[in-house]
Amino acid sequence: MSDATAAPSVTPSESVSQVAPSHASSRGSRRGGRGRGGRGLIHGQRGALSIVGSGIARPQHLSTTSSIPRDDPILIDDFTISGADSLTPISFIPTVALDHQGYPDLCRAVYQQISLVDRSLSSRLPMPLFLLYCNSALWYRYLALSVAFGRREVDNVVYIEQFRSIRWFLPDPIKRYLDGIGEFRTFTGDKFQPLSPPMWPIDTGNYPGSYGKVTDVTSPLYTSYPSPFVAVYNVLATIARSSGYAWGGDLPSALKPATVSEGTWKVTENLSGFDLSGTLGSKQISVLTNLGFTVNPSGYRFSHDRFGFNGPTLSYVSSALELMSGYKITEFSNSIASGSLALTPYLEIDAPISADYRESYLSGPHKFEVKSSTNLDSRLSSGSLLMSYRIKRHLFEDGRCNALPYTLVDKDDALVPVPSSYSISLNSNYNRGTSNRLNVELYNSNPVSRRDVLPEMTRAFIKA
């Protein structure tokens, strides 16, 4: 396989802007006993969160063998059927789906810190290019895990050899995020493996690295698994905006949702990794042009494959990071399949509070509780808030939604209810997996704004 695949030309006209979750809260009956009054949002070292038990009794010892009552009505003495008379234990590892909407937010926060440490970095390494590199690193991690777990998917061995040809250097918070994705065992002894995405980025058609048209089925993918196409297109769209071309504020029309009578679809910050407003200076545009990103009034062209892989581009970013001083930069070997206990909890809010369709559900004004089926060290519960590997989302009670990559608005840009198929699929990724044991809330934290605490964590890796 070649290092890259040529992407077709897209015209400006294609890109000019143009199980349903329950809403009942279970918190009311618990508020009196959760100790909110005396605790701050962040306390102790490194902003540890306190997870509080819900008071639900948990079984301590579960029998793995059956004990038959002597008076069982189906028990017939000396009657068995050959083949059905013996049950054999099955080797089984439960699986859980992860969510990566928070990953681009983390990468942006890290970029802001390294740009402060090295004031000249942004001219050599524009943020959209850095985000593309980080997106490719995420897919490198998933490809490596699919090989490690023996899953035969998307020619993973062929693709991973491409990625292994690069020496990957990453800011330490991003490396930690990727290292956290993997097989883990909870404090109760249960082992889990993260699932691969329900659909890998496509490798055919005009938009390699996308999930195709945004629909009720692909909408959770565009939110939870940052698309390589979106990462590449974001670079090109930012160049276009910066060059004064009348395109770059939306996805190509072929990928946008189909028109509906209920309202107008508008792209949101929940389209994971997409930047709606960034601009670049002439030096930054020159860097991107030299790397092969071509943008003009008639369209764009850049060579990449379904995982955003382009050897010279990734090598350029890796070298720029390797030479950085003043911030902890670490080589990413991607050689270990184990992950973090921070994959155990999930984040949830009581109800949506922001009716601004432009705001991100995860990095907007919402305050999230960390909820878990097992108790966690306070550092791990804090880490799970920052990394946000698992998210349970909510609509407004009337069906409006500010958690979709595209949402419906009226002529005044006010949210209107989305089609029921979108509300049903909103948490389809959260509910994936062979076991829902991790989705049981036995412990929870105080509500905390992820947006407010993310910069604190990224500053911790500045070298003194």
Q: What is the dihedral of CA 262, 264, 269, 275, to 10 degrees?
A: 160
3-state SS, residue 298: coil
Residues 256 and 265: their CA atoms lie apart, in Å, by: 8
**Beta bridge partner(s), residue 96:** 194
β-pairing, 443-445 vs 184-185, is unpaired
- CA atoms of 99 and 376, how far apart (whole Å): 20
Q: Give CA separation, 209 vs 29, 85, 227, 454, in Å.
A: 46, 50, 6, 28
Which neighbouring-strand residues pair with 216? none
Whether the model clears a pTM of 0.75, i.e. scores above it, the answer is yes
pLDDT tens digits, the chain, 464 residues: what are they? 434 444 444 444 443 333 344 444 444 444 333 333 333 333 333 344 555 544 444 445 544 555 677 778 887 777 778 777 777 766 678 999 999 999 999 999 999 999 999 988 999 999 999 999 999 999 999 999 999 998 888 888 889 999 999 999 999 999 999 999 999 998 888 899 999 999 999 987 789 999 999 999 999 999 999 999 999 999 999 998 898 887 767 898 899 999 998 899 999 999 999 987 788 999 999 999 999 998 877 677 777 889 989 999 999 999 999 999 899 999 999 999 999 999 999 999 877 777 788 788 988 888 999 999 988 888 899 999 999 999 999 999 899 999 999 999 999 999 999 999 999 999 999 999 876 788 989 999 999 988 888 888 888 888 75
Query: Per DSSP, what are the bridge partners of residue 391?
Result: 347
